[in-house]
Structure 1
Amino acid sequence: MTTLNLDDFSDLIERPDNGVRRDAEERRERLSVPAGAFGRLDELAEWLAAAQGRVPVRPVEQPRVVLFAADHGIAAAGVSGRPAGGAHALVRAVLDGASPVSVLAGRFGASVRVVDAGLDCDPGMLPEDVVRHRVRRGSGRIDVEDALTREEAEAAVRLGVRIADEEADSGTDLVVLGDLSVGGTTVAAVLVAALCGTDASVVTGRGGVPIDDLAWMRKCAAIRDALRRARPVLGDQLALLAAVGGADLAAITGFLLQCAVRRTPVVLDGVVSAACGLVAQRAAFRAPDWWLAGQASGEPAQAKALDRMALNPLLSHGVTVGEGTGALLALPLVQAAAALAAELPERAEEPQPEEPQPEEPARKD
């Protein structure tokens, strides 16, 4: 197997078709509803048309929620509102239909796929189709040790690439991307702080299950210590994911890059997917053109990452539950934008008044 170099994705990723986007804009001006009346829905429809490479845009018919699951060793430092090693309970809730994302996906017509990249549990606790992709069990505690070996980081990125190919080949026309993790927001904050050159306090949030002030201070200290380990490897994205990432974040990074290669649009959820997007942007600067930011979760690291990628969230409802829920809430907006652009009739052309014909001069007998 050849050594993986994330920078190679830069040559494989093209921007969505700007010519198609212009055609979509021109068609929008001819629709029966005045241009601008749908606000940002017009922009969404034009973006989706460019991603699909066609006008009129196709309605979104096969959306898919893809959730990467893992446990992070840093959770043992008391930085999370959930128990360390407890991400398998989140997965079980999704599979049993007892999680917010399961309820909403059923309502919005989206199927859900869970990929175990690095859960810290016995594989027998979950179905084979979930656990068969696992790169390793849990990850290292990033304030004092590497999350992964370089070989594991490469395997996780390749896993994400493989999942992206499977989704594209199966006909998925829009991905809603999320994570199921314990300790993931801490890891994501480290990546964002490292890539944006900011201090730990600037990116430290309260997490999906809000933590108290003491836990916030522990989280801030853990991010500060992990940053010291991240900065020496900033020039190598794979080394960065191995040092202070995790199997799920490395897999999501590979997934985002390959979705851009395969021209599959993606809606990002919270801080974890935003941090992975930032890593992917470092490797391939055109990749963010294929993504939408579903929501503003209120996590400061997410806001920093989205600003760096010039992605404007579709929603700002303060949804912190994670698990792809915030991004899934944005799905009906994208579906509505596509349906309106595809199905509204164009205005009938008004008949032009006939030009008066010059009168013939009177004949003289």
Structure 2
Amino acid sequence: MNLNQILEGIKPLDESAKIKASARLDSLIKPIGSLGKLEDIAIQIAGITGETINSVEKKCTIIMAADNGVVDEGVSTAPKEITAIQTINILKGLAGISVLSRQAKADFKVIDMGISSNIQHKDLISKKIKLGTENITKGPAMTVEEAINAIKVGFDTVEELKNRGYNLLGTGEMGIGNTTTSSAILMALTGSNVDESVGKGAGMTDEGLENKKRVILKALEINEPDKNDPIDVLSKVGGLDIAGLVGCFLGAAYYRLPIVIDGVISSAAALVAYRMNPLTKEYMIPSHFSKELAYKHIMDALGLESSLNLNMRLGEGTGCPLMFHIVESAAAIIKEMATFDELSMDSDFLVDIR
């Protein structure tokens, strides 16, 4: 299946199922609309699946790992070797996403999209496109063909997980320097300015932040990405991790699965997917409001709103297992809560104040 076939195969949510879900939620023994975003999520899930009543059977966060050549420009305080080291730590169950996934009784899959060294672990899925991207201050991060191949990895991963019974997905990443590529994508696609689009990432000095801004501006000047062509933007100033996640968002929409956005890196991928086909947005569920500066502007561009505000900025996909709890709760409410009719209770006193 080629990229055009994927994009053409993405369909809108089932409006009939959404209407039925909304009616059932309004009939439950509670003030109308009183469960807020839980009700919104339950309605969204119904539209995705076409069924009023749903349950989460298996959930999984897809973690794309890759190095970024722009790290050579001093845009991160962490050395690029941390990408490989932390990828192994995730697989060993020692990292934040590992712990929170266990807590949520969720799985995660780690995919090597372009780590700059050839690391080995029995659970690491190797789909390496190349040994990291090129330095975007000197030219494009990757070729268009490499970007599309990376997108296909994400798409195929979603297909495989769906076939294995997973029906709730999350998006995570590991790659030193990827807040730089995320900010570059935001600026290229939306025209937002450098001061509102570039933050300190994993942590850096004020001087380091100014250097990071200069690097991104230089990359945009040299590469001249076309804001009307998301693949052009992705290939010129993006990363292999982001490209893989773009494929995950496309795959979730194509195969009609809800998919959770983590922080700024996965939200940048969500924005690229949205610009490729706006219907992908209907399948996305934001998790936490990332502290990274670019996140708010990406959410504004997507027209989405986070449910959790925990002052998090870790990445790895850590917002996803937290949001899995919320999605499961939303599914349980519409499935298990009683209605006024079922209990022969009078509901005439209810007032819809939404």
Tell me whether the two structures share a fold, i.e. TM-score over 0.5: yes
Give the aligned partner of residue 252 of structure 1: 245
How far apart are the structure 2 equivalents of 1:341 and 1:252? 30
2:169 corresponds, among 160, 172, 175, to 175
The one-letter amino acid of 2:92's match is: D
| Counterpart code for 1:103 | V
Runs of 5+ unmatched residues, structure 2: 347-354
3-state secondary structure, aligned to 1:267:
strand
CA distance in 2, matches of 1:234, 1:44: 31
Instruction: Encode CA deviations 1:263-287: one digit per residue, 9 max, x unaligned.
Output: 0110000111111111111110111
Distance across 2 between alignment mates of 1:238 and 1:128:
32
Is the 2:61–2:320 contact (alpha carbons within 8 Å) kept by the matching residues of 1? no
Q: Are residue 110 (structure 1) and residue 106 (structure 2) matched?
A: yes
Question: Mean alpha-carbon deviation: is it higher for 233-242 or for 91-100?
Answer: 233-242
**Partner residue of 2:93?**
97
The CA distance in 1 between the partners of 2:223 and 2:283, in whole Å, is 27
Seen in structure 2, the aligned counterparts of structure 1 residues 5 and 52 have a Cα distance that, compared at 3 Å, is closer
8 Å CA contact retained: 1:9, 1:283: no
Does 98-107 or 341-350 show the bigger shift? 341-350
Match of 1:53 in 2: 50
Q: CA–CA distance in 1 between the matches of 2:63 and 2:285?
A: 16
Q: When the two structures are superposed, what TM-score results if normalisation uses the length of structure 1?
A: 0.90
Alignment partner of 1:22 is 2:15: no
Q: Does 1:83 align with 2:79?
A: yes
Which position in structure 2 is the counterpart of 1:341?
A: 334
Secondary structure in structure 2 of the residue aligned to 1:160: helix
Q: Report how many residues are paired.
A: 345
Instruction: Give the share of equivalent positions with the same residue, in percent.
Output: 29
Instruction: State whether residues 9 and 284 of structure 1, in contact with CA within 8 Å, keep that contact through their aligned partners in structure 2.
Output: no
Tell me if the contact between 1:161 and 1:254 (Cα under 8 Å) persists in the aligned partners. yes
- Compute the displacement of 1:240 (Å): 2.1
- 1:232 deviation in Å? 4.1
Aligned equivalents of 1:225 and 1:112: distance in 2?
A: 36
The answer to whether the 8 A contact 1:148-1:242 is kept is: yes
- The one-character-per-residue Cα deviations of 1:112-156 (angstroms, maximum 9, x if unpaired) are 10011011112xx32255242111111111122221122212211
The aligned counterpart of 1:32 is 29
Matches within 5 A, 1:192-271: 192-207=186-201, 209-271=202-264
Superposition map of 1:285-364 within 5 A: 285-348=278-341, 350=344
Residues 279 and 32 from structure 1, CA distance in 2 versus in 1: closer, same or farther, beyond 3 angstroms? same
**Aligned partners of 1:230, 1:164: CA distance in 2, in Å?**
31
Asked if the contact 1:15/1:290 (under 8 Å) is kept, the reply is no
Which AA in structure 1 matches 2:327?
A: V
Q: What secondary structure, in the 3-state scheme, does the structure 1 residue paired with 2:131 have? A: coil
Q: CA offsets per residue over residues 308-333 of structure 1, 9 Å max, x none?
A: 11110011111111101123222211
Q: CA RMSD in A?
A: 1.8
- Structure 2 CA distance for aligned equivalents of residues 351 and 66 of structure 1: 45
The one-letter amino acid of 2:175's match is S
Deviation at 1:9, TM superposition (A): 4.0
The residue identity in structure 2 corresponding to 1:304 is H
* Structure of higher CA gyration radius: 1
Give the counterpart letter for 1:93 in structure 2.
Answer: N
CA contact (8 A) 2:197 2:294 kept: yes
Query: What SS class does the counterpart of residue 292 from structure 1 fall into?
Result: strand
Report the AA paired with residue 212 of structure 1: T
Q: Is contact 2:189–2:228 with CA below 8 Å preserved after alignment?
A: no
TM-score normalised to structure 2 length: 0.93
User: Aligned-pair distance for 1:239?
Assistant: 2.6
- 8 Å CA contact retained: 1:10, 1:286: no
- Residue in 2 that maps onto 1:165: 159
SS in 2 for 1:312: coil
Distance between the aligned counterparts of 2:94 and 2:148, measured in 1?
A: 33
Q: Distance in 1 between matches of 2:195 and 2:11?
A: 36
Find 1:144's aligned residue among 138, 157, 172.
Answer: 138
Task: Judge conservation of contact 2:188–2:225 (CA < 8 Å) in 1.
Answer: no
CA distance in 2, matches of 1:131, 1:12: 27
CA gap 1:258/1:351 in 2 versus in 1, 3 angstroms: closer
TM-superposed deviation, 1:216: 0.5
Correspondent of 1:188 among 170, 182, 187: 182
1:11 Cα shift? 2.2
